[in-house]
Amino acid sequence: MFRRTLQTIAPGLTFVIISACAEEPGSVPEVPAEEISAQVAELDAVHEVMFPMWHEAFRARDIAAIQAAVPEFQPLLEALDTATLPGILQDQQEDWDGAKAHLMESYQWLQSAADAGNEDAILGSAEAFHMSYEAMERIIRPVVPELEAFHQHLYGVYHYYGPGFDLEKIREGADAMGSAIPPLEAAQLPSNLQDRQADFEARVVHLGDQVAILLIALENPSRAEVQEAVEAVHTAYQSVKEIFD
């Protein structure tokens, strides 16, 4: 930004003096809590019926109980079909839509099997339906909770406070991200991903470096430098997240 001032050099001679000045920080409202919560209430509602069907009826091979549960899913799946992901999960939309299509398809198989009364078909389709449900759960449940904790702070800075140049909230978010790095550095991947542990740790170190650069930029902030540093943190976060793709 530039500041224009009028300066009189001599009687009758007035010049416009243009000088650079730092851009004034903005003020951005707090990010709504529901936007950074990785939760879909409609999927939780499906779980309320899924849990007893799978852990009780299926394990006991109680065909009548499985058949009785089938119509209970219908209104829950209709609600799930129109559910929207919270902002923090928007980059999962494509995976979510694909998994939802599999869930709906497996439910149709379960319905057909339940109507036909074939025991083997009911058990097989119930298992497929449960597997499809678990695939949806994995999309919104983080493999590493420490990474999701970091993302919750990054989300507001990247999507709201950085673009609005709200320095106070950017600093708060950057400090919170800095505090989230040590637990992330200590995080251990599940056993099926142990071969990626070293790569994960290296990417987390790079992420921590980018957060440190952002904190330095905030000491004497210019909008361009701060936004560039925020973008670098986001890119480094995405690199860590790609470990799980």
Residues 133 and 163 in one domain: no
pLDDT band at 39 (very low <50, low <70, confident <90, very high): confident
Which pLDDT value is given to residue 67?
A: 97
Indicate if 126 and 93 belong to the same structural domain. yes
Do 53 and 123 form a contact (C-beta atoms < 8 A)? no
Q: Tell me what pLDDT residue 24 has.
A: 65
Looking at the structure of the chain, the number of domains it has is: 2
Q: Give the pLDDT of residue 113.
A: 97
Write the CB contacts of 175 (distance below 8 Å, at least 6 apart in sequence): 215
Of the residues 106, 140, 174, which one is the last residue of a structural domain? 140
The dihedral formed by the CA atoms of 231, 163, 165 and 18, expressed in degrees to the nearest 10: 100
**Interval 187-208 mean pLDDT:** 96
13/76: higher pLDDT? 76
State the average pLDDT over residues 121-150.
92
Instruction: Check pLDDT > 50 for residue 18.
Output: no
Q: Where does the pLDDT of residue 23 fall: very low under 50, low under 70, confident under 90, or very high at 90 and above?
A: low
The pLDDT of 220-228, averaged and rounded, is 96
pLDDT of 26 above 80: no
Residue 140 token pair: 């919104």
Q: Which residues pair with 7 in a beta bridge?
A: 15
126 and 162 both lie in a single domain: no
For residue 141, the model assigns a pLDDT of 83
Q: Is the domain of 169 the same as that of 208?
A: yes
Mean pLDDT throughout 41-59? Answer: 95
Residue with tokens 């009548």: 64
User: Of 19, 22, 21, whose CA–CA distance to 223 is shortest?
Assistant: 22
Mean pLDDT comparison of 7-11, 75-79, 241-245, highest-scoring range: 75-79
Cα 156 from Cα 135, distance rounded (Å): 27
15: pLDDT strictly greater than 60: no
φ/ψ (deg, to 5) at 209? -65, -40
Q: Is residue 44, in this structure, part of any structural domain at all?
A: yes
CA distances from residue 160 to 149, 153, 174, 239 in whole angstroms, order as listed: 17, 11, 13, 21
- Asked if the structure places residue 27 within a domain, the reply is no
d(CA 66, CA 126): 8
Domain-ending residue, one of 117, 140, 163? 140
pLDDT at 222 (0 to 100)? 95
Length of the chain: 245
By CB neighbour count within 10 A (0-12 exposed, 13-18 middle, 19+ buried), where does 154 fall? buried
Beta carbons of 172 and 30 less than 8 angstroms apart: no
* Local structure of residue 30 (DSSP, 8 states): P
Residues 142-197: tens digit of each pLDDT: 789 999 999 999 999 999 999 999 999 999 999 999 999 999 999 999 998 999 99
Closest-CA residue to 171 (of 214, 232, 235): 214
Alpha-carbon gap, residue 126 to 55, rounded angstroms: 11
CATH of the domain at 66: 1.20.120.10
pLDDT digits (tens, 9 = 90+) for 106-120: 999 999 999 999 999
Q: Rounded to two decimals, what is the model's pTM?
A: 0.73
Output the domain CATH number for residue 195: 1.20.120
Range of the domain at 189: 143-244
